[in-house]
Amino acid sequence: MTLAALKQAVLEANLATVRHGLVKATFGNASGIDRVSERIAIKPSGVPYEEMTADHMVITDLAGTTFDNRFRPSSDLDTHLVLYRAFPTIGAIIHTHSTYATIMAQARRPIPPLGTTHADYFHGTIPVTRDLTAEEITERYVEATGEVIAETVGSGDPLAIPAVLVAGHGPFVWGRDPEQAVLNAMILEEVAKMAWHGAALDAAPPPISQTLLDRHYLRKHGANATYGQ
């Protein structure tokens, strides 16, 4: 992927989060990485969405070194860097404070697979991190946020469940590319909304069966995926 194409894709992902109502004010950021050149493009800090162009995207390497000094990168850059280093298969990251996903993150409530909307995109429960320690918050907050996400994913496949709810904060979502990350962020908000409203009928509804979960997830994402071809 050329740098210009990466910047354009990351710009579009940032704009899409606003267009889909996932990001209000400045509570959000999207980035993407070209794994061949190991260049990351991320939303700049302090540039209004209405004025944002592909050229505003800040380019860094995996260590966070920036390659031009015209704009500062998003203040969440270090979280993105930790995740790109921890999960070599992901190609884009989106952070939002989308309402229902954030409600779940604030309630420390994981989102189990309650239906096939969830199963089409997330192959299991969307987890919540532990709370950061006082030391993590004081000494190395942004980086520690990435580390606690990686700790929560553990040895799991980050692309099988491409989102984590950061306790008391909000969701971080990813995908193979910026477009897929946007879709995952939208579906996450949708399943969080359904889980929230569903709790009015049944406080702890049973998750769908593993068979139904597999059926829906694997037809879109498995080695034998048949969906959408």
Q: What positions carry a catalytic annotation? A: 120, 227
Q: Residue written as tokens 């320690």?
A: 133
- DSSP annotation string for 4-51: HHHHHHHHHHHHHHHHTT---TT-EEEEEEETTTTEEEEPBSS--GGG
Q: What's the CA gap between 42 and 135, in Å, rounded?
A: 27
Give the CA distances from residue 1 to residues 7, 8, 32, 78, in Å, rounded to whole numbers and listed in that order.
10, 11, 11, 23
